[in-house]
Amino acid sequence: IDMSLFRLLSDFFDLPAEYQCPDCLQNDYFVRLRLGIYFLLSGILLILLYIPCFIVMLKSKSRNPSFRVMIILAVFDIINLAVNSVSTGIFSILGASFCQYPRLIFIVGAIGNGTWMAGCAMCILLAMDRCVEIHSKFFLAFLFHKKAFRVVLGVVGMYWMYSVWFTKPLLFSARYSSWFFDPKINRDPNIYRNVPHTINNLVVSASTTGLYIYMCIFLLYKKGKSTNSMWMSRNKNQVILQAIIICSFHALAAYIYVYMQLFYSPPLLIILGQLTWQWSNGCFCVVYLTINKSIRSSVKKMLL
């Protein structure tokens, strides 16, 4: 709590001592124009692609758990794209790190970190829901019953508030065009480690990977039992492809950010981590518009 957004706001924007920048770093700009332009433009494009998908989901009369998870996840994804892409691009173009805009970056980083963590919880829920869709007797199906599901969403909401307000924020470094818990002000990096974030990433990477592997194995098994070729081509292939795309980006982003927090990371790995974080949020709208026939046709009908 002493190094959180709650502390910053309760002290009327007075930065905690651990985040006080030395004078020598306050004018230390490091412009990365090409990366900045990429993150800014790709972030804006992904948000613009996501918005019609989000509108279609909101307009849908369906309010089953799957759609509600997708709607909430869309909100988290758009917020995160504003942080990991648009904000990253702007700060990289300006060459500005934490010490140039400490309070702004502190707040943006707290929102980005908390939204990532809550988004991870929603990704796990989405994976569970898809397992229930293909296998109604899946052992976690009870979580999607009406009353239980409300409790689950309430827990996710509280988790988001906790992660934003009461954990250490991510802070931007223009030198790497990426976000770290360590503000890079020549202090012991161990004091900035975010243990809840590490646990969150390990849980989401392991659980989503396990759930999607289960889904793929179940569908492949069902394929062998099924004589309905239409079911095989339209459902099995699409679900497996969506699972592989979504799981790959989330698991990679989670593992890389845990590694970056605990060990030395070369610049190439840091950029890879930033890209996987971006696409763990951006891949959903691409999947919706290319693979998800229902959303794609609804978006086309709305825009044309």
User: Is 22 domain-assigned?
Assistant: no
The CATH number of the domain where 292 resides is what?
1.20.1070.10
Q: Report the pLDDT value the prediction gives residue 94, as an integer from 0 to 100.
A: 96
pLDDT at 67: 85
Domain count across the chain: 1
- 263 found inside a domain: yes
Q: Name the H helices within the chain.
A: 5-10, 33-59, 65-81, 88-94, 102-134, 146-166, 195-225, 229-231, 237-262, 267-290, 293-303
Tell me the residue type at 128.
M
Is residue 20 in some structural domain?
Answer: no
Q: Are 15 and 8 in contact (CB under 8 A)?
A: yes
Q: Rounded to an integer, what distance in angstroms lies between the CA atom of residue 297 and that of residue 124?
A: 26
* Distant-in-sequence, close-in-space partners of 1: CB < 8 Å, separation ≥ 6: 7, 166
For residue range 21-78, list pLDDT tens digits in order: 988 777 889 999 999 999 999 999 999 999 999 999 988 877 788 889 989 999 999 9
- For 150, the domain range is 5-14+29-303
Query: Does 96 fall in a domain?
Result: yes
Q: Interior CA angle at 166 toward 160 and 169, to 5°? A: 90
Average pLDDT rounded to a whole number, residues 198-223: 86
Model pLDDT for residues 253-296, shown as the tens digit of each residue: 998 988 887 888 899 999 999 999 999 999 999 999 998 888 89
Cα–Cα distance, 231 to 255 (Å, whole number): 35
Is 201 contained in some domain? yes
